[in-house]
Amino acid sequence: MAFMSGAQAAEPHVDNPYAGATQYVNPTWASAVKASAAKQSDSSLAARMATVAKQPTAVWMDRISAIEGNADGNGLRFHLDNALAQKQGSTPIVVNLVIYDLPGRDCYALASNGELPATDAGLARYKTEYIDPIAAMLAEPKYAGLRISATIEPDSLPNLVTNISESTCQQAAPYYRQGVKYALDKLHAIPNVYNYIDIGHSGWLGWDSNAGPAAQLFAEVAKTTTAGFASIDGFVSDVANTTPLEEPFLPDSSKTLGGGNPIRSSDFYEWNFDFDEVDFTAHMHRLLVAAGFPSSLGMLIDTSRNGWGGPARPTAVSTSTDLNTYVNQSRVDKRVHRGAWCNPLGAGIGMLPQATPSGYTASHLDAFVWIKPPGESDGASSDIPNDQGKRFDRMCDPTFVSPKLKNQLTGATPNAPLAGQWFEDQFVTLVKNAYPVISGGTVDPDPVDTVAPSVPAGVTVGAVTSSSVALSWTASSDNAGGSGLAGYDVYRGTTLVGSTTTASYTATGLTPSTAYSFTVRAKDKAGNVSAASTAVSATTQPGTVTDTVAPSVPTGLAAGTATTSSIPLSWNASTDNAGGSGVAGYDVYRGTTLVGSSTTTSYTATGLTADTAYSFTVRAKDNAGNVSAASSALSARTKAAVEPTPDPTTPQPGASCKVSYQASSWNTGLSANVKVTNTGSTALNGWTLKFTFANGQQVTQGWSATWTQSGSAVTATNAAWNGSLAPGASTDIGFNASHSGTNTAPTSFTLNGATCTVA
C-alpha cells in the first residue's frame, strides 16, 4: 500500500460512508494487541488475537491534548496520515473518530468525567480549543480523500433524558445542547465528515418513556443547527457498552409465561420491550423518523464487546416455568443487571466490523463498528490520581454492592486502570469469550511501519542533586523491517520533560527534597511510540536555592453579572511550589494592558464601555517576584446602555416577533426549547417573553434567561449576553418543568408586550 500524499479530491457526500469502503486500523492499538498475543502460551488464543489486531477501531479525542498527542497516545494528524497510508487505490477508507470533551462531560457517572467545567468558560474552550482545531485539521485538502465518521459525544444527550433530576446534569444540560450543536455545525460543513449521534443502548433508553423523549430531544437539537436534520447522518448505539446484538433465545419480549406474565416483566428486563440492540435500533429509527428525521437515516451498532460467548453462553431456551429462572437461563447477557456498565466480567467481543450487514432491515444498519477498542478500560477499579478529570466510580469496583443494581455486586473486572488505558486482563477475557468465535490468523507484515519500538527496560536512577536527577536505561529495539529507532521521550509523571537520542537523560529544574516519578517511551522514525517503561522514583537532595518557580497558572476564570461599565471576575486560587515564598496576589490584564491587582481571587474591572466585548487574563505572582503564565482568556461583554429604558410590557415601535416552542415530555416531567426571533426592523435592547401554561405546569429549572412564574403565568427575561436582538436575529432559551400528566403546549406568546407569531 503506497502512501498517498498531497490533496485528494473530495467525493460527494454519500448515504452510507461504510458501503464499499475499508476502515482505518489504529496501529497503536494494533501494537498493544500484538504484544498481548506474544505473551500467550495458548497458540490458539494468540492466533485469535492476531485476527483482532487487524480490525478497525475508533480513535478517541478525549481531551484537548489528544489532538496534538500526549503521554497516552499519538495525535489526530498521526492517525489521519496513517489512514492515507492504509488507503488502497480508489477504495474509500473510513476513519472512526470519537468527539468526547463536552463541558461537564459524563454528568451522571464519574469514571469518564472530563477536563472542562459546565460553565460558559468551559463551553468557550470546547469551541475554540477543541472543536475548532479538530475541524480545521479535518478540513485540510490533504485529508479530503478520507471519510471521517464522527461519533458525537457518547452519553451526553441521553443523560438529559433519564438523569435530568441530577443537579450536575441540570447544570450541564444547556452546555450539552450548545456544544453538540456547535460540533455538528462545524463538522457537517466539511463534506467528507459524517456525523453520528450516540443514543445509548436498549438497557438505558429502550423503555417507551425514555425512547420517545429521546427522539424528540435529538430532533430539537438537530433543528437548532445550521443544516437542520441534514447535519446528522445517523445514530450509533451500544457505544462502550455490552448489551447484546441479539438475544437468540428471547426473540419475543411480549411472550407470556405461567400465569400470563410477559417475560419483559422479569427482574432483569423490568418491562423494557427492547432486549437487544437490533430491536432498539429499529425502535429508535421509527421514532426518529416520526420526529422529523429522513427515512434514509443510518444506524451503527458498536459490537466491540457485546458477544457474550464462552462457556456461560446458553445453547437453548430454558424449560423452566418460573419467569425469572426462564429469563436468566435463556439470556446471553450474563451481567447481574443491565445497568452494570463498567468492565463487566464475562463479556466477549461481538461481530467483527462489517458494512451494511444483512438481515436487519428494520434496523437500517449502516455498519457494525468497534467504537470502543477492545482492551481499553471503562474506568479504574480503585481511586487513581490523574490530571484528566477522571474520578473513581464505584460501579467499576468489584467489591461494591450497588443500590443501583438492586444491591448486588457490580460484576466489574478487578485491577482496572483509568478509562481509556490498556487493560490486559479484560482483553484476554474478551477474546476468549468472543461470539461469534474469532478464527485464528497470523500477524501480517506491515506494508508500512506501524509497530512501535520495544518498551525501554531497566530504567535506573543515577546521580541526584537538589535540582536534578540522572536517568539511564537499556536501549530499545525497533521491529524487523521497521523505520529505525529515533529516540526517547522522558516523562515526569504525565508531563513530557525532554527527549534524547541516547539511552540516558538528566532531568533538571527540580525542587529540593521532592519526590518525582519518571517513565520513558521509545519512538521510531515513522512516529510510532512505545508504551511507557516501568516508573522509577527519586527524591532530590535538600538544598538552599532561590525561589525561581512561579505559582501555578490561575484556572476557572469566570465573569459575574456585568453592568454598563464594569465586569466582576473570579478564579480559582493558585498554589506556589513546595518550599516557595508563597502566593502574593494576582495581576489582571485586559488584553495586554495591566488593569489592576488583587490579593484575593476576585477583581472588578471598571471604567468600561457599554455593550463592548473585552478579553481578560489573570497571572499569579509570589513573594519572590515570580509571575505565572497567563490564565486562559475569558471574553465578557458589558451590559448595553438602554436610554430611555423601555417598559418591557409596552411594545417597542415596529416590534414584531416569532416564537418556536418544542418540548419533550415524560411521566411527570418535560424539557422545552424556545427560539425567540426578532422579525421587526428595529433592534431590541432587552426583552421579556411571557406566556401562560394551561395545565398547571411548573418551571423547575431554566437556562439562557431568567425564568420566573406566578400561578400559570411564566416570564423569561434576557440574560446579560443575549439581550440585544438585531432585526432577524434569534436566541435559543429553554427550561425543565413538571406536570401532572397533561401537558398542553402554550399557544400564545408576547415579547415586550407585542403578540408573537407562533411557528
Active site residues: 155, 378
CA gap 608, 620 in Å, rounded: 23
Tell me if 111 sits within 8 A of 379, measured CB to CB: yes
Contacts of 155 (CB under 8 A, 6+ apart): 106, 108, 109, 112, 198, 200, 239
Place of cell 429604558: 645
Grid coordinates belonging to 519: 517513565
Q: Give CA separation, 617 vs 594, 600, 734, in Å.
A: 9, 15, 31
Say how far apart CA 46 and CA 245 lie, in whole Å: 26
List of residues 6+ apart from 403 with CB closer than 8 A: none
CB 17 within 8 A of CB 33: no
Q: Where are the alpha helices (DSSP H) in 404-540?
A: 424-432
Q: Cell numbers 430611555 correspond to what residue?
A: 644
Q: What angle do CA 480, 90, 131 make, to 5 degrees?
A: 80
Query: Nearest to residue 155, comparing CAs of 421, 379, 307?
Result: 379
Residues 318-347 as b or e (16 or more Cβ within 10 Å = b) = beeeebeebbbebbbbbbbbbebbbbbbbb
Q: Which strand ranges, in their side-by-side order, compose the sheet holding 515-524?
A: 495-500, 485-492, 515-524, 536-539
Retrieve residue 65's grid coordinates.
491534548
Dihedral sign (CA 486, 533, 68, 621):
negative
Backbone conformation region of residue 672, classed left if phi is above 0, alpha if psi is from -120 to 50, else beta:
beta
Alpha helices in 163-276 (DSSP H): 167-188, 202-205, 208-224
Look at strands 69-70 and 73-74 and give their pairing. antiparallel
**Residues 138, 148 contacting (CB under 8 angstroms):** yes
Distances (CA, A) of 529 to 146, 249, 485, 490, 521: 24, 45, 10, 12, 7
Say if residues 353 and 93 touch (Cβ distance below 8 Å). no
Q: Where are the alpha helices (DSSP H) in 230-344?
A: 277-290, 323-330
Cβ atoms within 10 Å, residue 508: 12
CB 295 within 8 A of CB 361: no
Instruction: Evaluate whether 7 touches 141 at the Cβ level (below 8 Å).
Output: yes
Cell representation of residue 105: 462531560
Helix locations, 675-733, DSSP H: none
Closest CA to 529 of 541, 519, 521, 517: 521
Neighbouring CB atoms inside 10 A of 548's CB total 12
- Give the type of residue at 546: T
Query: Which residues does 497 contact at the CB level (< 8 Å), separation at least 6?
Result: 490, 491, 507
DSSP 303: -
Q: Where in 639-726 does DSSP place strands (E)? A: 657-666, 669-678, 684-685, 688-692, 698-703, 705-710, 713-718, 724-725
DSSP code of 563?
-
